[in-house]
Structure 1
């Protein structure tokens, strides 16, 4: 299955961002992509009033994504914000589209909130509570967002639920060592789960000169596709671009047969924890 990762910068204008999604989806579909992945916060960039945007939208932006996917006869995974609890939002990854005439629809709310380095995402975001997967063709895909990548158990849980590939949508924050961490963590999660990791980040505003609010995670680029053995199959630079890769179910089977970490793990079975 051919997939596309769209590395782009979103702005504070949801309609302008939707227009970019439409253009990039059409370009990816022409190249034969059955799945087109966009970054976290594609609907509206961090640093803007996310709660107001989610409340004002009333689901219209996601409905437009559905129409774009139908028009191009493909499936789109894209980062959005929806109303949460008590004036907060959910940081969500929604999947909409068509697979051989069948409607595909899945929603994932980010489970792990970024309460780190002095930032408290939990003050403005309602955490998700569930692992989500969806079926496309002969493959099962899992869903994850940004900070989730630091938690291996989420990825192994998705693999145990049948995921052959896991979509990781991000708007990764810049800073010392952050590029190195980003390029390390995804392949590590691919090895943990023996699944493909489709890691789609926002482009780097320092390169694209896109508007960015200081102190907000607005992307560093370097989107990539990691194979189940951690090998990078495709990698973007820092600017806006689309990268493509093929997801091969036979390769998943072969790697899991030779490296059966999911079956070999005892921590989820019978290891006793002792405190001294």
Structure 2
């Protein structure tokens, strides 16, 4: 366990619009700033490249796996900036014409694909009477958890609404995940009451770091997202958090902290069910 090291991660907080070109330009500038501040890995928020102005707009921007301008952009930016990129989500063809998957790609510093994760849990809720979401209408849910390793650190992938389903993260604990990644587009109303609570719960119950980048502000579809991109430590402490402004936050995560807690508080060995 002693070979595990620290890593500096940058959370990219955006207020994405319905213009892909503008979003990618904004994202690249923020990534460059984060890397200049020491980030080895950056996490883009959910729907970073396109926040739909109307339901179904994303169907005009669906890419094939391993092909398409947004994927090529992520590869180029990773290579140009010598940084790992965890690419929020983009719409990728699933085989069902009007229901692409929401896929999170991970690229290494050379721009090579490491793995990808398809969002499992669909956001089908009424936040309030006049704010209703039905993500499953035009998105196909994934069904596989995904981990990857970098320099002896194990990462587990998830997206936004997944945070409400602890059984997903229990699977990651079984696999020895050190850092849970959660690119999100958490709404303002639910974010105010549940965002930090959920991030801390997932960290504490699994003795893992959580790194969650979020969308923020009012988008051109009038949807409002919460911001407050956040790092949480394995003891549940908030290690760093943003407000509601567009920008980035970097944090160095010391993986040895997990081992220290496990020795004193080996809750992971006490499970009965």
TM over 0.5: yes
Instruction: Work out whether residues 75 and 104 of structure 1, in 8 Å CA contact, stay in contact via their aligned partners in 2.
Output: no
TM alignment of 1:166-245, pairs within 5 A: 166-175=180-189, 178-205=191-218, 211-214=219-222, 216=223, 218-245=224-251
Q: TM-score, normalising length from structure 2? A: 0.88
Partner of 1:68: 77
Match of 1:81?
91
Aligned partners of 1:197, 1:251: CA distance in 2, in Å? 13
1:174 Cα shift?
A: 2.2
Distance in 2 (CA, whole Å) between partners of 1:81 and 1:42 is 11
Q: Runs of at least 4 residues of structure 1 off by over 6 A? A: none
Give the gaps of 5 or more residues in structure 1: 206-210, 268-276
C-alpha change, 1:47 and 1:257, in structure 2 (3 Å) is farther
**Partner in structure 2 of residue 271 of structure 1:** none
Aligned counterpart in structure 1 of residue 103 of structure 2, from 66, 78, 92: 92
* d(CA) in 2 for partners of 1:54, 1:235: 32
Give the match's secondary structure for 1:119.
strand
Over aligned residue pairs, what C-alpha RMSD do you find?
1.9
**Maintained 8 Å contact 1:170/1:219:** no
Structure 2 contact 105–113 (Cα < 8 Å) conserved: no
Gaps of 5+ in 2: 1-6, 127-131
Offset at residue 41 of structure 1 (A) = 0.3
Q: For residue 178 of structure 1, report the CA deviation from its aligned partner.
A: 3.3
Q: Which residue of 1 aligns with 2:3?
A: none
Structure 2: distance between partners of 1:250 and 1:133: 19
From 170, 187, 195, the equivalent of 1:156 is 170
Listed as ranges, the matches of 1:1-276 within 5 Å are 1-48=7-54, 49-55=57-63, 58-79=67-88, 80-84=90-94, 85-98=96-109, 103=112, 105-117=114-126, 118-175=132-189, 178-205=191-218, 211-214=219-222, 216=223, 218-267=224-273
Shift of 1:159: 2.2
Distance 1:147 1:125 in 2: 13
| TM-score, normalising length: structure 1 | 0.87
- Judged with a 3 Å threshold, the aligned counterparts in structure 2 of structure 1 residues 78 and 192 are, in CA distance, closer, same or farther, namely same
Deviation at 1:102, TM superposition (A): 9.1
Give, in angstroms, the shift of residue 198 of structure 1: 0.4
